[in-house]
Amino acid sequence: APPLHEFLPHSADELAEVAAAAGITAETARQRSLKLSESNPMLGHRGCRLAVTYPEICRMQARAIFEAASNVTKGGAEAPVPEVMIPLAATAKELEICKAVIDQEAVAVAGETGISIDYLVGTMVELPRAAVCADGLAEQAEFFSFGTNDLTQTALGISRDDAGAFMHAYTDAEIYPVDPFVSIDVDGVGALVKMGAERGRSVRSDIKLGICGEHGGDPASISFFETVGLDYVSCSPYRVPAARLAAAQATIRAQAETAD
């Protein structure tokens, strides 16, 4: 989930366009944009925090999902089952607040269209607290997607955007055997994924578990995720062929080990 500042107008043309649409002066728009700027946006006003402070954003996005699903159904196609994922949650209360908005909008759209859409609500697990407290999150979430890019950043305290300045020295010194943003840090970040999966399943045995991020295309990481028992991986499009092959190989290895 991008930080709030990425959605704000910055150039003079953008400020003028937003000001005209909002019926305010460009200077007022500029001051408002400055007020919303952050010192450390990747750990700031983003993800579900936006939904808590500006529930209308969550409401608008949920409505778009349910209206689109209704339109598909009206067209005669099989009714889709949207999976609505709440990002950057650290607490069950955040999920409870966001889920309430989503549920309300599902009911509202159903009332307007006459079409009731089945859907699932889940969350990204991308903060250490979310992994440690995954049992609480699973009381609200029907699926987890481990966001291993952010989970690596927050667990290691390393910015992925700035790691290039020193990561080669770390891998040369074997502090990390490989770049942890390329192949998952099994002992640290991997342990959080394993903990999150186990604690989530302890509350909801049928919870759907997966990962998203660049690790989803790394064969070594995929092999680890298979041992944890994750259901799927997702990654950049160009990594999909390698990811499918690695996932198949990991499954075959696991089946062979079980047979032995």
Does residue 249 form part of some domain?
A: yes
Q: How many domains does the chain divide into?
A: 1
Distant-in-sequence contacts of 250-259, Cβ < 8 A, 24+ apart? 250/222, 250/223, 250/225, 250/226, 251/226, 253/223, 253/226, 254/226, 254/227
pLDDT tens digits, one per residue of 101-121: 999 999 999 999 999 999 999
pLDDT tens digits, one per residue of 203-236: 999 999 999 988 999 999 999 999 999 999 998 8
**Distance, CA of 118 to CA of 198 (rounded, Å):** 27
Per DSSP, the three-state class of 45 is: coil
Q: Quote the pLDDT of residue 1.
A: 67
Does residue 141 form part of some domain?
A: yes
The CATH number given to whatever domain includes residue 207 is: 3.20.20.60
Does residue 102 form part of some domain?
A: yes
Does residue 16 form part of some domain?
A: no
**Distance, CA of 31 to CA of 194 (rounded, Å):** 45
Does residue 226 form part of some domain?
A: yes
Does residue 64 form part of some domain?
A: yes
Does residue 118 form part of some domain?
A: yes
Q: Quote the pLDDT of residue 216.
A: 93
Q: Is residue 251 pLDDT above 70, yes or no?
A: yes
- pTM across the whole model: 0.90
**Distance, CA of 136 to CA of 158 (rounded, Å):** 27
Structural domain boundaries, residue 237: 25-259
Q: Quote the pLDDT of residue 2.
A: 76
**Contact by Cβ (8 Å): 215, 183:** yes
**Contact by Cβ (8 Å): 88, 48:** yes
Query: Across the chain, which distance is largest between two alpha carbons, in Å?
Result: 72
pLDDT tens digits, one per residue of 50-64: 999 999 999 999 999
Does residue 14 form part of some domain?
A: no
